[in-house]
Amino acid sequence: MTLTIPFDNSYARLPDGFFARQKPEPVRAPRLVAFNEPLAKILGVSADDVQDLAQIFAGNTVPDGAEPLAQLYSGHQFGHYNPQLGDGRAVLLGETVGTDGVRRDIQLKGSGRTPFSRQGDGRAWLGPVLREYVVSEAMHALGIPTTRALAAVETGEIVLREGPMPGAVLTRVARSHLRVGTFQVFAARGQFDRLRQLTDYAIARHYPDAEGPMGLLRAVRDAQARLIPAWMSVGFIHGVMNTDNCAISGETIDYGPCAFMDSYHPNTVYSSIDRMGRYAYSNQPDIAVWNLAQLATALIQQVEDKEAAVEEATEIVHAMPDLMQQHWLERFRAKIGLSTAEDGDLQLVSDLLTRMAQNQADFTNTFRALPGDKARDQFTDPEAFDSWSVLWRARLQRESASEQTMTAANPAFTPRNHRVEQMIQAAVGGDYDPFHRLSTALLRPYEDQPENVDLTRPPAESEVVQATFCGT
């Protein structure tokens, strides 16, 4: 009766400079609180003993074939370069190649101190662990590339944050944990052999058709240029788009102070640490370009012919805004039921968004209500919607199947902040029912679920969450 994980590790084969070998630190009394069986199946993980699972996903037992390590990286945090970050509270157990042929990392987050912990305790508390579990799985169900959650355990230990909090460990699964910051650290240190090795590794793992560093840059650009408009189409604000939180794979990574918007405004910020609004909703495309420019700067260091590389990198980065704009428009066209393209579409979408912002319209519910023409109820002045609707209806005349297009592009369910907070509060008090209910509803975000209609409602005034915290 043991858990079997068919490890096939590649990162651990890289030379020592890429990581520090580090076992997870055991915890006192692990208790499994969530296990993602469908994901386990894809990974090839077979499990039949819950006691076993708790021990492994808490880090108390290192499973056969794991080669635990903490990865080195650096990164720009809020625009300032931090020369050394790295996994300060996480260890990579290893990789599996899933039943779908995809290689994925299995990482424990909150698993104790590592050589990269700096002042941190290496731990996580239950709130952020459950938040990441719920929100990353919701993101996956929405069809948006993301890291995933395999398991969550309570550690039976206390961690100190704003006060004493229950400790927890999340098992995170990702196509890899390579970040822009993984490249930056070797570029900044002048370790160009390592930079070359990392580039080859990233190409082989993620973009086998890419040629050389500039080919990799182009591939990452394309993946990021799809990802950010996908976020925006569901009202998602990442909250900490630092270069160490920008994955080369194009997956959403690091669910710290992230949030889904309730009422729409382009300048919305939730993160308590983002005082300047650097990572506000509508700033996300600009930041993605800025992050790509940092990757370009790092990748160029390994190239002999710098002049040509700078020219090519500049062209690649400069093309990103247009590319993102195209994907954005494609997403929002679908949201208003358009499957064909016409010149006035951008104007039509922008006009709707402007009116939504002026009328505190709920982002998710407005789009979801478009087919039935109930969207007007979302506006403080419903006539602001009506006058837009006239133009929209005229445009829809030249469309077929617009209802199906809209239903598939406009989820009914997103993990609303107040629901996430309520779920966390309940779990801290030992009640996991809201966690299970929320997780289950979010598995089918595009379906009407009458029994869960309360989960689609925006927060009452007393429920509004003003700020989200990194406090992991």
CB of 71 or CB of 378, closer to ligand AMP? 71
Number of residues this chain uses to bind ligand AMP (CB under 6 A) = 18
CB of 172 or CB of 416, closer to Mg ion? 172
52 is catalytic: no
Q: Where are the alpha helices (DSSP H) in 122-264?
A: 126-141, 180-188, 192-206, 212-233
Q: How far apart are the first and last CA of the chain?
A: 34
136 binds Mg ion (CB under 5 A): no
- Out of 24, 59, 63, 122, which residue is the one contacting ligand AMP (CB under 6 A)? 122
CB of 73 or CB of 435, closer to ligand AMP? 73
368 binds ligand AMP (CB under 6 A): no
CB of 237 to ligand AMP, least distance (A): 15
- Work out the angle at residue 443's Cα, subtended by the Cα atoms of residues 441 and 444, and round it to the nearest 5 degrees: 80
Task: Return the structure tokens found at 176.
Answer: 């890899």
114 binds Mg ion (CB under 5 A): no
What gap in Å lies between CA 443 and CA 319, rounded to an integer? 35
245 binds Mg ion (CB under 5 A): yes
CB of 245 to Mg ion, least distance (A): 5
Q: Which of 105, 222, 244, 274 is catalytic?
A: 244
256 binds ligand AMP (CB under 6 A): yes
3-state secondary structure at position 170: strand
254 binds Mg ion (CB under 5 A): yes
Site mask for ligand AMP (CB under 6 A), range 80-119, x = bound:
-----xxxxx--------------------------xx--
136 binds ligand AMP (CB under 6 A): no
Q: Tell me which residue of 91, 129, 130 sits closest to 107, measured CA to CA.
A: 91
- Work out the angle at residue 416's Cα, subtended by the Cα atoms of residues 412 and 419, and round it to the nearest 5 degrees: 115
Question: Binding partner of residue 120 among ligand AMP, Mg ion, none, CB under 5 to 8 Å per kind?
Answer: ligand AMP
CB of 142 to ligand AMP, least distance (A): 22
Instruction: Kindly state the DSSP code that residue 447 receives in the 8-state scheme.
Output: S
What gap in Å lies between CA 258 and CA 266, rounded to an integer? 15
Closest-by-Cβ residue to ligand AMP is: 120
Quickly list DSSP for 232-274.
HHTTEE-S---GGG-BTTS-B---SS-EE-SB--TT---BTT-
Question: Binding partner of residue 164 among Mg ion, ligand AMP, none, CB under 5 to 8 Å per kind?
Answer: none
**Four-residue CA torsion sign, 413, 415, 421, 426:** positive
Question: Binding segment for Mg ion among 243-251, 304-312, 319-327, 385-393 (CB under 5 A)?
Answer: 243-251
C-alpha dihedral (63, 66, 72, 78), degrees to nearest 10: -50
Sole residue written with tokens 């939504």: 356
79 binds ligand AMP (CB under 6 A): no
Chain residues in the site for Mg ion (CB under 5 A): 245, 254
Chain residues in the site for ligand AMP (CB under 6 A): 85-89, 116-117, 120-123, 240, 244-245, 254, 256, 470, 472
Could you give the residue numbers annotated as active site?
Answer: 244
